[in-house]
Chain A
Amino acid sequence: MTADHGRCEVAMTVNGKAAKVCAHPMERLLDVLRRDLGLTGAKEGCGEGECGACAVLIDGELANSCLIPVLQANGASVVTIEGLAREDRLATLQQAFVDCGGAQCGICTPGMIMAATCLLRKHPQPALDAIREGLSGNLCRCTGYAQICEAVAEASAHGEER
């Protein structure tokens, strides 16, 4: 970590690749991902950790990137929505969101899919109540959640990858 006008170097693994950024330590991880790394999939919906639109995985755990000073991500492995699809092949969950109508306006979708990814890793066969709890930190104004929950159930029936 070298100081440069209060900035510091932060080294992360982002979507499987090493990424180094020079940023102010109190920059939000969300802003660094979007501005410095061009990963605009994570969105700012509320800026206070309430809506989940900025959710990413940090060392495998779901986190709201708007609440994380980038310095706290130093050394961490970060996965964003851009890291889920392999080449042109959608991840099972992404495909299920397309098939089931889980994405309408799409703004909550990246965070929602990250939350669902995390949920299915911990509970591969979640019941409806578990899906609802697992996604309750991600607000969606379009769908009323039904088709999102169906997408998660559909993906869980297909297993992690396909």
Chain B
Amino acid sequence: MQAESIIGTSVPRKEGRDKVTGRARYIDDISLPGMLYGATVRSSVPRGKIKNITFDPGVPWNEFVVVSAKDIPGTNCIALISDDQPCLADGLVNHPEEPILLLAHPNPHILPKAVAAIRIEYDPLPSLFTIEESESQAEVIWGTDNTFKRFLIEKGDVDQVWAAADYIVEGEYTTGAQEQLYIENNGVIASFDRERGVTLWGSLQCPYYVHKALMKLCHLPEDKVRVVQMETGGAFGGKEEYPSMIAGHAALLAMKSGKPVKIVYDRMEDMAATTKRHPSRTRHRTAVSRDGKILGGEVEFVIDGGAYATLSAVVLSRGTIHAAGPYFWPSIRVRARAVATNAPPHGAFRGFGAPQTLFAMERHMDRIAAILGISPVEIRRRNFLKPGQTTATGQTIREPIDMGRLLERALSLANYSEKKDSLRRDHQSATRRQGIGIATFLHGAGFTGSGERYLASVVGIEGCADGRVRVLVSSTEFGQGTKTVLSQIAAETLGLDYSDVEVAQPDTETVPNSGPTVASRTVMVVGKLVHSAASGIRETLIAAGLLSEGYSRDAFLKACAAYVAAHGEFKSWARYEAPPGIFWDDEKYRGEAYAAYAWAVYIAQVTVDLSTYSVSVDDFVALQEVGRVLHPVLARGQIVGGVAQGIGFALYEKVVWQNGRMQNSQMTNYIMPTSADLPVIRVYFEELGNVHGAFGAKGIGELPMDGPAPAVVNAIADALGTGFDSIPLLPEDIFSAVTAGGLDTPPASQGAR
């Protein structure tokens, strides 16, 4: 084995060269012979019955392929968890961007005119647009009570704590929809022939989700659907479930026309019609002792799922489990609901429910501190979960995490106490206020509870004729560094050079189902399987007598090549097995929610300009414990990118709704941060290691989305002496609050006694 470790070094990104030269091929860079372009005719009302569809006779419709729900060979649904979402509306529409008809034509430029030439008349039905309207059940738009899913977590007897409490602190916190805003819009190409069935190339995260959806929609067996991931220009969850929809559309057009069909959304359609982060409302009621100990509390968490169930239940689950934050609760009750509204379905977005409940938790900690008259640092220090204690789901913390120590280090990195004093003393003027805020949080890696056991992911390693190896996974690269890190793991396991490993293009015909590329699971769960499968290759070679322990790279290459020459195919498989002693109760929501957690302390320093009521983030410290850092440059890239999205979530990114439709579906009016809007984001790691992950890694992708919003809003509260409990927090909101209440009023203390 080579002495130098590849793990922990910043090897060049596998596909980096292709990306910087423009050679990387994304879906819209591909064109097939005879290809048609597809377009979607969507609803224009939030809810109603389709009365009549008229095609303007001025358009030569015979040149077009037209698909309606009646053309669907299989089941008219996007198969996911519950199959309630139609692929094409059949008689009824439930949101204002719902697909009704599909068109295809060889000339993409005439499609918008054709879409506009189709007139659809509706009998409108009453619609619901907010969580509150949905809860009122003034109209039932889904199921029997507008509720997609409920969860209840109960730990201890929270009903007993109120009488003993010195303080009962209440708060309500809301978060808005957030657009993933990957720079590459959703897009696919589908082709069909009787022999091979449907082949689908696309920009997507989860090839096997699309595979499953197309089988059901197109009524095709497993081997007649092939899904291939192209280079994918950002996803962030936005290409987790939605690609099944656009893939279904392209496949239907391809099946009807017999020609390849490309559908690539433009920005306006992508923003208006595809998923966004679930808007949420979280209510806390917390019993606290005089010395700042949480005694118990109730949390009510509600998310707006939009018109169909999609992934709302799973988003709700993660939000529910993270609602308690990194704190010890002797007793807690969390009630959670996902409700229906007549908006396009909300979906996966980095963090997946956790950014919503952690925003609430971390704002609420500052509220508790203010009411008790202790510092935001102290309230957290006194309540951190410690090894041996149990989480809200009753999971015993086994890893040696010391959040108190993490907090001390972050405070010192941010120069917190000195700044806290000097900001108060020196930097407040009539027009500028500065403040500093903290968020402490955790994020569970991998699927929740029994999720990984159900998934039973499979990974393969293939020995190639030249002695090098290929990683066979459906785990996708969309910027995070999947290919690079999985290659590092395989190379390290086998004692090879990084360049001796390649990762196969995700193609359901050639790679096994290693699970979806979501939930911060790729490095920890899939990486561990890569390690196992690679070990299998090595053991096979040793057992075959081709290799002996302590071998050199050259010896491996020769042995592997010899094995392939002798046996033909050489593949080693590894399947996920749940570690022993893991218990999870899906009914009661109790047990080991996650195999491992990443832990973090983020500190933001802000200036509020009282001439413009705008906020600038001046300094940002992001300290996290993520197990072993396998690739420092990629890991830091994940953190900085996540923090940037988190700052956007807090301060810039507002979806303007009108009757369930996004009004600002352009990059000019949906505002994400530019390079001129972000501070230097200072990233630090602690590395405790993790027995469940490859070479000690945990998940990292979602964690940085959780902390920035509460840290920034806590800093604004510190600067202005007045709290804000809703994001996005725009200058107009600060203006309204400042004008209504003035500054330096004590924080709201409803429920204090």
Contacts and interface: CB of A to CB of B under 8 A. Distances in A.
| A–B contact (CB under 8 angstroms) | yes
Interface of A: 34-35, 39-48, 50-51, 53, 80-82, 84-85, 90, 94-95, 97-110, 113, 128, 131-133, 135-149
Which of A102, A131, A133, A145 has most chain B Cβ within 10 Å?
Answer: A145
B499 to A, nearest CB: 14
B676 A132 contact: yes
Contacts of B643: 144
Nearest to B648: A141
6 contacts: A40-B26, A81-B22, A136-B674, A142-B637, A144-B642, A146-B636
A106 B478 CA distance: 8
Which of B16, B180, B643 is most buried by chain A, counting CB atoms within 10 A of its CB?
Answer: B16
Interface stretch (B229-237, B293-301, B691-699): B229-237
A107 B680 CA distance: 23
B678 interface: yes
A82 B21 contact: yes
Interface string B239-253: 000000000000000
B21 A85 contact: yes
Contacts of B678: 144-146
B387 interface: no
B539 interface: no
Interface stretch (B67-75, B450-458, B664-672, B727-735): B664-672
Nearest to A103: B19
Contacts of A133: 675-676
Contacts of B680: 128, 146
Contact of A109 (B20, B232, B236, B267): B20
A98 B266 CA distance: 29
Given A97-B20, A113-B20, A139 B183 contact: yes
Given A107-B184, A144-B644, 8 more contacts: A44-B28, A47-B266, A98-B17, A101-B634, A105-B235, A137-B674, A139-B674, A140-B675
Contact of A90 (B13, B20, B232): B20
Contact of B675 (A51, A81, A110, A145): A145
B16 A103 contact: yes
A101 B636 contact: yes
A107 B183 contact: yes
A109 B183 CA distance: 10
Contacts of B25: 40
B622 to A, nearest CB: 10
A131 B676 CA distance: 9
Contact of A147 (B31, B478, B640, B676): B640
Contact of A43 (B16, B23, B26, B681): B26
A142 B681 CA distance: 14
Interface of B: 10, 12-13, 15-26, 28-29, 31, 180-185, 231-236, 266-267, 478-481, 633-634, 636-637, 640-645, 666-668, 672-676, 678, 680-681
Nearest to B481: A104
Contacts of B674: 136-137, 139, 145
B21 A94 contact: yes
Given A103-B19, A144-B640, A144-B641, A48 B667 contact: yes
B667 A136 contact: no
Contacts of B676: 132-133, 136
Nearest to A40: B29
The binding surface of chain B is classed by DSSP as loop
Contact of A106 (B19, B180, B641): B19
A141 B234 contact: yes
Given A105-B233, A136-B676, A144 B667 contact: no
Nearest to B233: A107
A51 B670 CA distance: 12
Given A90-B20, A147-B633, A141 B183 contact: yes
B22 A104 contact: no
A139 B181 CA distance: 10
Contact of A46 (B15, B267, B637): B267
Contacts of A100: 633
B65 to A, nearest CB: 21
B667 A50 contact: yes
B19 A109 contact: yes
B672 A81 contact: no
Contacts of B20: 81, 90, 94-95, 97-98, 102-103, 106, 109, 113
A133 B13 CA distance: 27
Contacts of A98: 12-13, 16-17, 20
A50 B183 contact: no
Contacts, number: 171
Nearest to B646: A144
A152 B667 CA distance: 25
B236 A148 contact: no
Contacts of A102: 20
A81 B21 contact: yes
A135 B479 CA distance: 20
A109 B267 CA distance: 18
A99 B31 CA distance: 32
Contacts of A84: 21
Contacts of A50: 666-668
Nearest to A115: B675
Q: Tell which of A46, A106, A128 has the most Cβ of chain B within 10 Å.
A: A106
Nearest to B181: A141
3 closest cross-chain pairs (CB), A and B: A41-B22, A107-B233, A105-B479
Contacts of B478: 105
A140 B745 CA distance: 39
A146 B681 contact: yes
A43 B480 CA distance: 20
Contacts of A85: 21
Nearest to A81: B22
Contacts of A44: 28, 266
A43 B180 CA distance: 18
A44 B232 CA distance: 14
Contact of A99 (B12, B481, B637): B12
A144 B231 CA distance: 20
Which of the listed residues B236, B266, B478, B479 has the most CB atoms from chain A within 10 Å of its own CB? B479
Given A43-B184, A106-B15, A149-B675, A143 B231 contact: no
A43 B233 contact: yes
Contacts of A142: 234, 479, 637, 641
A46 B31 CA distance: 20
Contacts of B681: 144, 146
A131 B674 CA distance: 12
Contacts of B672: 139, 141
Nearest to A97: B20
B488 to A, nearest CB: 15
Contacts of B180: 141
A107 B234 contact: yes
Nearest to A91: B20
B637 A143 contact: yes
A110 B22 contact: yes
Contact of B184 (A45, A82, A97, A132): A45
A80 B16 CA distance: 18
A147 B636 contact: yes
B22 A101 contact: no
Contact of A105 (B18, B185, B232): B232
